[in-house]
Amino acid sequence: MSQSLSAIARDRNIRYFMISFTDLFGVQRAKLVPAESIDAIASSGAGFAGFAAWLDQTPADPDILAFPDVDQLFQLPWQPDVAWLPADLYTPDGNAVDQTPRLVLKRVLAKAEEIGLRIKTGVECEYFLLSASGETISDGRDRQSKPCYDQQALMRRYDVIREICDAMLTLGWGPYQNDHEDANGQFEMNWTYSDALVTSDRHAFFKYMVKSIAEKHGLRATFMPKPFAHLTGNGCHMHLSAWDPEGKENLFYDPNGMLGLSDVGYQFIGGVLHSAEALCAITNPSVNSYKRINAPVTTSGATWSPNTISYSGNNRTHMIRIPDAGRFELRLADGSANPYLLAAAVIAAGLDGIANKRDPGPRCDNNNYTEPLPVGTVKQLPAYLLDALRKFESDTILSEALGAAFSTAYPKLKRQAWNEYSAHISSWELDTTLDC
């Protein structure tokens, strides 16, 4: 960026900058900096107490410094006097805070570049629009058992959807469609794929943007994996392809390959399948995540989420789908996934697949909801977060690729969250065991 941030502020009438980082649990933390101070703060870093966020630090540790990526500036379309800047974390003596999710992704992408691969991704972020209290779906007339693509329900939320889509148009993301999803009150908005770090920054900003615009309209948006037991949950489907360093040739594309996918593409899929159980600790990072995968049938007739570690062609009942030549879709992740860790972990698993030429095995074309594969044919997904964390802790592929600092900090904090959940006495437990 040739201009200073203060000069950009003058040109664009920006009064404040949010220097923002995403912690290990996907929570966005920010300092609001007036334009008059932005150049100094961007140069020296915005100070944060690491223990106050979900990072593996103590109150005795020195401040961490957030240095904004000045080439990734997002001027808020709904509040244009404010701009958002994603940031990376460093110690006061200039060392990277290696557990920082955005830096974890950068390291994985650097490893891809070393072998001549430029990874591109796209994400499909599903969310619910709820009442301001978050207790009910915001549209009382949205009651169909099969509400997916419901035209009336979509247009009753036109003001919110239009404002979000208009914002993406203003930002230059190339949004191309918006729809009502499979659950009552649920929506999805699609924008054009890009380089993995660009998509992850946009993914992080998208979640902030959707929540902010929903609040502006007196509503509450949630990406929670399974807010309602009887409805389809919020997935975060990821599309991946690998390109040459210039981004001109799709190395996953082979017109002679099965379903138009190259050997490299299948090896990448093989790596994702091989590490899938450990991967779940990242793609499905919350206790609630495991109420979405392996879930019973919803009122719509299908959960649209996977239950086995398997892949297929254009078949949405498996963990991986190959909908088109030259790319694949991972249907495993949910709305609570950290935008940076999601990409980092999936790419790391795929790179291992390429390095070891992992065979994904035979394609599964069955309807996995009504005609499940025989027991033992493929592995099941973990049933609980604790199961996924144990797989992650015993896995060497992801831990080595994501780095020792992250691979120690992340499961440590996630186990704390699991223990907090385990200590909670639910109303179900009281209803079923109080009279024992």
Q: Are residues 64 and 125 in the same domain?
A: no
pLDDT digits (tens, 9 = 90+) for 412-431: 999 999 999 999 999 999 99
Question: Could you tell me the end-to-end alpha-carbon distance of the chain, in angstroms, rounded to an integer?
Answer: 67
For the chain, give the percent of residues with pLDDT over 90: 99
pLDDT digits (tens, 9 = 90+) for 139-186: 999 999 999 999 999 999 999 999 999 999 999 999 999 999 999 999
Q: Are residues 167 and 312 in the same domain?
A: yes
Q: Are residues 31 and 160 in the same domain?
A: no
Give the residue among 296, 312, 291 at the shortest CA–CA distance from 364: 312
What is the structure's pLDDT at 285?
98
Region 219-247: what's the mean pLDDT?
Answer: 98
Say if residue 1's pLDDT is above 60.
Answer: no
pLDDT digits (tens, 9 = 90+) for 339-357: 999 999 999 999 999 999 9
Neighbours of 128 (CB within 10 A): 26
Pairing mode, strands 82-90 and 16-22: parallel
**Residue 72 pLDDT class (50, 70, 90 cuts):** very high
Region 375-397: what's the mean pLDDT?
Answer: 96
CATH of residue 278: 3.30.590.10
Residues 318, 331 contacting (CB under 8 angstroms)? yes
What is the structure's pLDDT at 181?
98
Residue 156 lies in a domain: yes
Q: Are residues 47 and 132 in the same domain?
A: no
Taking the C-alpha atoms of 80, 15, 199 and 409 in order, what is their torsion angle to the nearest 10 degrees? -140
Residues 175, 169 contacting (CB under 8 angstroms)? yes
What is the structure's pLDDT at 45?
98
Q: Are residues 142 and 15 in the same domain?
A: no
Region 34-55: what's the mean pLDDT?
Answer: 97
CATH of residue 82: 3.10.20.70
Residue 237 lies in a domain: yes
Q: Are residues 227 and 319 in the same domain?
A: yes
Region 307-336: what's the mean pLDDT?
Answer: 98
The number of distinct structural domains making up the chain is 2
Residue 434 lies in a domain: no
Residue 431 lies in a domain: no
pLDDT digits (tens, 9 = 90+) for 291-302: 999 899 999 999
